[in-house]
């Protein structure tokens, strides 16, 4: 029985490794035309009435908006075992505008897990509470290529990144759906952006 347990364990470990390292399979949509956001400036979004429809790793994606953000990385989290990881192996918690200030960031405690980004502070906030909400977000990254996937996995806390691509809705063959937030003003479940990343620059 020990050998059987060892085989099951090896198969499970091998499957999780494959999920985290399998090639990205994409039917690429057109390149976005939205300009690059300024370094750590407010994200730029161009909503689409009829965006491109394309396939990524067996899922059908619809472009909801062209999107560009320049931001400081607060935290980066890698995923390989949840359903969402077949599309998005990396989440980035990003900060821009008044949140891109080391004095502000040092006054706040951050955590990231389970596809959520959390923060807290003691006493008075370093900037108004609402400004923290409006100028930071957890974003789910869908790589458009193996090269983008490798570059996303190398991103680390403190990096300044420029990201361009589409905010998307994803639908699988069995009806499972994952949809991006379309505003920076929401919070809680469903408030994260789901980004098909066509271009990534780490400064």
Walk along the chain (203 residues) and give the pLDDT tens digit of each residue: 544 444 444 444 444 544 445 567 777 788 998 887 877 778 999 999 999 999 999 999 999 999 999 999 999 999 998 999 999 999 999 999 999 999 999 999 999 999 999 999 999 999 999 999 999 999 999 999 999 999 999 999 999 999 999 999 999 999 999 999 999 999 988 999 999 999 999 98
Residue pair 68/34 in contact by the 8 Å Cβ criterion: yes
List alpha helices for 25-118, DSSP H. Answer: 102-106
* Buried b / exposed e along 66-76 (16+ C-beta atoms within 10 A): bbbbbbbbbbb
Rounded Cα distance between 177 and 183, Å, is: 19
Rounded Cα distance between 43 and 35, Å, is: 10
This prediction has a pTM of 0.86
């Amino acid at each position: 029985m020990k050998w059987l347990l060892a085989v099951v364990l090896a198969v499970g470990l091998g499957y999780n490794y494959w999920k985290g390292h399998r090639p990205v399979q994409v039917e690429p949509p057109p390149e976005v035309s939205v300009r690059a956001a300024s370094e750590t400036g407010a994200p730029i979004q161009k909503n689409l009435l009829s965006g491109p429809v394309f396939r990524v790793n067996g899922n059908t994606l619809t472009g909801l908006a062209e999107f560009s953000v320049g931001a400081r990385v607060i935290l980066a989290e890698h995923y390989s075992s949840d359903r969402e990881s077949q599309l998005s192996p990396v989440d980035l918690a990003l900060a821009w505008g008044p949140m891109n200030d080391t004095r502000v960031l040092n006054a706040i405690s951050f955590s990231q897990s389970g596809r959520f980004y959390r923060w807290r502070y003691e006493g008075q906030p370093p900037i108004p509470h609402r400004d923290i909400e409006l100028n930071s977000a957890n974003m789910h990254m869908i790589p458009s290529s193996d090269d983008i996937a490798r570059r996303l996995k190398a991103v680390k806390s403190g990096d300044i990144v420029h990201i361009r691509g589409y905010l998307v809705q994803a639908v699988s063959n069995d009806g499972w759906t994952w949809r991006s937030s379309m505003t920076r003003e929401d919070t809680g479940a469903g408030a994260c952006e789901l980004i098909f990343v066509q271009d990534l620059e780490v400064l």
